[in-house]
Every structure is written in structure tokens, then in C-alpha cells.
Amino acid sequence: MNTLVLGVVFSPLIAAAFGLLLARNRTLQHGIGLIGAVAAWLCSIGVLLANLESGPQLYRLGGWPTPFGIVLVADMLSSLFAVMSATVVAAGVLYALGCKDKVVTYPAFMPLFLCMGAGLFGALFTGDIFTMFVFIELMVIASVTLVAISDNRLGLEAAIKYLLISSLGTLFLLIGIAALYATFGTLTMADIARLLASGERPLLAQAAAVMLMCAFLLKSAVFPFHFWQPDFHTTAPTPVHSVLSSVVVKVGIYGLIRMITLMFTAEADLIQDLLVILGVIGIFFGSLGALGTYDAKRLLAYSTFGQIGFILVAIGWGTPLALAAALVYAVNHSFIKSSLLMITGGISSRSIGKTARLTEIAGLGKKLPYISVLYFLGGMALAGIPPLNGFISKVTLVQGGIGAESWLVLGLAVGAGMITLLYMMRTWQHIFQKVPDEFTKTKPTGDNLLAPSLLIALCIVLGIYAAPLIDLATQTAAQIGDPQIYIRAVLGG
């Protein structure tokens, strides 16, 4: 009964409730929002440290025994993802405090932002698959509302589009959950895993696996469920976009890892082969889409396709070394992508039209050397240039591919990585090196860039001193490699 597990999920929810009560005082509301986000971040670190010391941490809601009650489970996988997510959410709140967007001044913005974070944390920590659905829906509803009220006039259209697509994902998830409950009479993932471990496959079990996989692929915007992502993410307010494209898309990745390492271990080989194929498609589709786009924010949204593809390929290889590489890549990508989106938002906030269209911000950053350095470092990290953390991600990925002896896929992944360097360098030169047009007008001030500066500093630290993250990822891969550790922690025995 580790209360820190509860603190990660409910700190932002409590802050959101107080934020609604203090809607008339924006300064106090935003201050409480920052306190709630930082509290969740500190609790997530505490849970991870407790996990390292004494194994998976639990909190049984209401004190009900498992599997009769809802249990929050923080093993190494969920703890590592929670620290990653809480760091980005806290940075997003910090960025929002200095953001010039009109939407940030709305009384509903901060409570909705915190609810989005709480839904994300709850989905990572719950040990009950139906409660995961509830938390995912909380996250979806909050993010859709935030996009719908954004300053971008296309935000409402993008929100409606995603709401319709998300309903399809909800349908997949609910059908999968219903099939599991009808088959096993339980919703606790550890209990389902225990029953599936017997080797028997009732009629609806494998159908449930297909439904859950489709739902998680949609949440991570993986081909062929990808088409909603560029519009939805690009039109979001910058603080929201920085969370959506970096950590919210990782919920699907988390779900897929849970499927192949805990519940559907017998079908893992087939699922992993499919993930490798989808990953390679995503790598090239995302990279080429980013290379041909017209908007700096949209470029980073397309880039997320490619980066998620690298993670899927590593998960598909399935070896402990490859799984550790996937985790390292996921964490580093979250920090890199979030910082780049914030920096891009800071650039667009300094244009008269508050746009990220490349034709309208060309040369805008020529007189902004500090932002130029930040964007350059973020771009090089995304491309995997040493000594930044993206280089560590690429190295661990290559090691995972060598260990899996998947030479063709590894060659394709390394080759596609060069496209990342191409579109990031081209964009940096376009914004910061090109001579601005005589009609280009800028504002004297823009969004505060403290949050992306801290994230870029973290990217440098994790590049130079990468051992702690690699050790955490290795221990996580070892723990999830034995599903009995999770099952015994939840059910006892």
C-alpha cells in the first residue's frame, strides 16, 4: 500500500479540482497547477526508487483484495514510463505559465491539462484493464477539448476528426475487454495473465488480443491508424502538443509491451513480427512525410511516426537487449520531441500571425541566437548525433538489432535515420540561417523558453552520462521478461 503510487495519479486531479474553484484567479490557478504537476513528478521518482529497492509497488483502492478490487501496480515498466511522462507534463505546465496563447488564459485550460496528465498516469499504473480504459478516455476527452478551444481556427475540425477516430479505438478496446471478461470472468491483468499462462486459448481470447492490439496501435498513431495525428497534434496549443506528441502516444506503446510480455506471451512472436513490419513502414512514412511538409509543427508531428517506428521495431525484435533499447529510445524521444515542440512554439509566438508555416517564419530566428542553439541541439539529438541522448538511443537500437541478427531491418532503420538529419538540418537553416524577407515582421517578445531549456539540458546530461538510464532500461527489460514477477506481486504467492 504505497501511497506514492496514489499520489502520482491523484496529485494532478486534486490540483485540477482546486483550479476549478479558483477559476477567477488565473495566477493562483496556474501556481496550484504547477504544484500538482511537480508533486506527481516527485511521487513518480519516489515510486521508481522504491521499485528498485523492494520490487513492484501496489495500492489497492478501498483495501479490497485482488482480483475483486481495483489495484494500482507500479512495476519497473510503469514506473519508468511514469517518470518520463511526469517530467514532460511538469515541463508542459511550466511552459504554459509563460505562453502567450489566448487559450492558456481560459479558466478551463489548466484543469483540463492536469486531467490529461492524470489520465496518462492512471493508464500506466492501473492493474485493471477496464480502469485503463477509463483513464485513457479521461485523457482523450481532456486533450480533445484542449485542441477544440485552441487559438488555431482549424482546432475544432481536428478535434472532431480525432473524436470520431478515437471512438473507433474505444470500440476496439471495449470489445477486447468484454471478450476477456466473458472468457475469464476477471478484469485484473495479472489474473488474466495467470489464466492465459496455462496454455489454453478459449474462443474469444485471441479475438480479444486482436482488438486490444488495434486499440493500442490507434492510440500510438501507428500505420494504418495514423491519419488523424498530424492535424490533431499540429492544431493543439503548444503546451498540449508538446505532451501529445511525446508521451501521450506512448500509452499505446506501453499497452503493446504489456500484451506481449504479460498477457499474450504465447502469441508474442506473431505480434512482434507484425510490429517489425509496421515499424519499418512507420519509419519511412514518417521521415518522408516530415521531409515534404510545409509547417514546422507538422514536421515534428510526422517525425513522431518515424520515431515510434524505431521503438516498434525494437519491441518486435523481442530480445532483452532490444526491449531495453526500445525503453531507452522511448524515454529519450519524449524529452527531445517535447523540447523541440516548445522551441517551435516559441518561434511561432514571435511571428505576427503566430504561425509555424515555413514560408512565413523563414529567417525569423536569424536574430535569436539562443533559440537557434536550442533548436540545433534538439534537432541533432533527434537525428542521433553525439554526444546527445539521441545518439545513445541509436546505439542501443543498433546493438539490439545486432543481437536479434535482423540485418535487413537494421540496415533500413539506420538508413532512414539519415533522413531525420536531413529534414532537421534543412528546417534549422530555413528558420535561423536564411535572410528574412523584407515583409517578415516579428514581435519583440514571445513564449518563455525556460521549460525547453531544461529539457535540452536533460538531453545533454542523458547523452554524456547515459549509464543510469541504460541500467534502468536493462533492469526493466529483465523484470518484464518474467511475467511471474508481476503476477506474484499482484496476486500473492
DSSP state of 357: B
| Residue 332 in grid coordinates | 529519450
pLDDT at 439 exceeding the cut of 60: no
Residue 368 dihedral angles phi and psi, to the nearest 5°: -125, 75
Q: Distance (Å, rounded) from C-alpha 24 to C-alpha 22?
A: 5
* Over residues 43-69, mean pLDDT: 87
**396 burial level (CB within 10 Å; 0-12, 13-18, 19+):** buried
455, 338 Cβ separation under 8 angstroms: yes
* pLDDT per position as a tens digit, 130-180: 999 999 999 999 999 998 888 888 888 888 888 888 888 888 889 999 988
Q: What is the pLDDT of residue 493?
A: 65
The answer to whether the beta carbons of residues 303 and 383 sit under 8 Å apart is no
The residue count for the chain? 493
pLDDT tens readout for residues 200-254? 777 788 888 888 888 898 888 887 777 777 777 788 888 898 888 888 889 989 9
Instruction: Judge whether residue 444 has pLDDT over 70.
Output: no
